[in-house]
Structure 1
Amino acid sequence: MAVDGCGLVCKYVLILFNIIFAVVGFVFLGLGIWLRFSENTRGIFQIDALNSSAFVIGVTVLIVLGAVMLIVVAFGDYGACNEKRCALQVFSVLLTFLAMAEIAVGVLAYSSRDEVGRNLGEFYASLYTLYVASGDPAIAVTLTFIHNAIHCCGVTGVSLIEIVKQTCPKPDGFMESIVMPNCPGTIANVFDRRAPLVMGIFIATGALLITALVCATILLKQLKRVQQGITTYYSTVY
Structure 2
Amino acid sequence: MSCVKYLLFSFNLLFAITGLIILIVGAKSEINAHPYVDLTDESFYTSAPVILIIVGLIVFVVAFFGCCGAVKENHCMIVTFSAFLLIIFIAELAIGIAGYMKHKDLETSLMRSLNDSIKHYSNDTSIQHNFDIIQTDLQCCGINGPADWKNNSLPIPSTCCAGQELVENTPVTCTETSPTLHKKGCLDEILTHLKPLSLLLGGVGVGIAFVQLLGVIFACCLARSIRSQYETV
Q: TM-score, normalised by structure 2?
A: 0.59
Query: What amino acid sits opposite 1:18 in the alignment?
Result: I
Query: For 2:182 and 2:33, how far apart are their aligned partners in 1?
Result: 33
Q: 1:45-101 deviations in whole A, cap 9, x for unaligned? A: xxxxxxxxx66x45x556544554455445544323322111111111111111111
| Residue 170 of structure 2: aligned partner | none
In structure 2, do the counterparts of structure 1 residues 202 and 77 end up closer, same or farther at CA, with 3 Å as the change threshold? same
Query: What amino acid sits opposite 1:79 in the alignment?
Result: V
In structure 2, do the counterparts of structure 1 residues 67 and 151 end up closer, same or farther at CA, with 3 Å as the change threshold? closer
Please tell me whether the aligned partners of residues 121 and 187 of structure 1 are also in contact (alpha carbons under 8 angstroms): no
| Residue 214 of structure 1: aligned partner | 210
| Residue 158 of structure 2: aligned partner | 165
Give the match's secondary structure for 1:213: helix
| Residue 186 of structure 2: aligned partner | 187
Query: Which of 91, 95, 114 is residue 92 of structure 2 equivalent to?
Result: 95
In structure 2, do the counterparts of structure 1 residues 22 and 67 end up closer, same or farther at CA, with 3 Å as the change threshold? closer
| Residue 70 of structure 2: aligned partner | none
Query: For 1:9 and 1:62, how far apart are their aligned partners in 2?
Result: 30
Query: For 1:30 and 1:203, how far apart are their aligned partners in 2?
Result: 17
Query: For 1:64 and 1:166, how far apart are their aligned partners in 2?
Result: 29
Q: 1:129-159 deviations in whole A, cap 9, x for unaligned? A: 434xx899xx37x7244334133377648xx
The 5 A counterparts of 1:129-140 are 129-131=123-125, 139=129
| Residue 18 of structure 1: aligned partner | 22
2:140 paired with 1:147: no
Query: For 2:64 and 2:34, how far apart are their aligned partners in 1?
Result: 26
Give unpaired runs (5+ residues) of structure 2: 67-80, 165-174
> What number of residue pairs does the alignment pair up?
195
In structure 2, do the counterparts of structure 1 residues 215 and 71 end up closer, same or farther at CA, with 3 Å as the change threshold? same
Please tell me whether the aligned partners of residues 140 and 189 of structure 2 are also in contact (alpha carbons under 8 angstroms): no
| Residue 48 of structure 1: aligned partner | none
In structure 2, do the counterparts of structure 1 residues 215 and 114 end up closer, same or farther at CA, with 3 Å as the change threshold? closer
The 5 A counterparts of 1:39-58 are 57=41
2:198 paired with 1:202: yes
| Residue 219 of structure 2: aligned partner | 223
Which stretch of the first structure deviates more once superposed, 161-170 or 11-20? Answer: 161-170
Query: What amino acid sits opposite 1:86 in the alignment?
Result: A
Query: Which of 59, 62, 81 is residue 64 of structure 2 equivalent to?
Result: 81
Query: For 2:133 and 2:91, how far apart are their aligned partners in 1?
Result: 37
2:111 paired with 1:117: yes
Which is richer in helix? 1
Q: TM-score, normalised by structure 1?
A: 0.58
| Residue 104 of structure 2: aligned partner | 107
Give unpaired runs (5+ residues) of structure 1: 36-53
In structure 2, do the counterparts of structure 1 residues 25 and 79 end up closer, same or farther at CA, with 3 Å as the change threshold? farther
Give the match's secondary structure for 1:150: coil
In structure 2, do the counterparts of structure 1 residues 124 and 169 end up closer, same or farther at CA, with 3 Å as the change threshold? farther
State the Cα RMSD in Å: 4.4
How many angstroms does 1:123 deviate by? 3.8
How many angstroms does 1:27 deviate by? 5.5
How many angstroms does 1:191 deviate by? 5.7
Query: For 1:26 and 1:149, how far apart are their aligned partners in 2?
Result: 18
Please tell me whether the aligned partners of residues 88 and 220 of structure 1 are also in contact (alpha carbons under 8 angstroms): yes
Q: Percent identity among equivalent residues?
A: 9
Query: For 2:98 and 2:159, how far apart are their aligned partners in 1?
Result: 39
Query: For 2:182 and 2:21, how far apart are their aligned partners in 1?
Result: 40
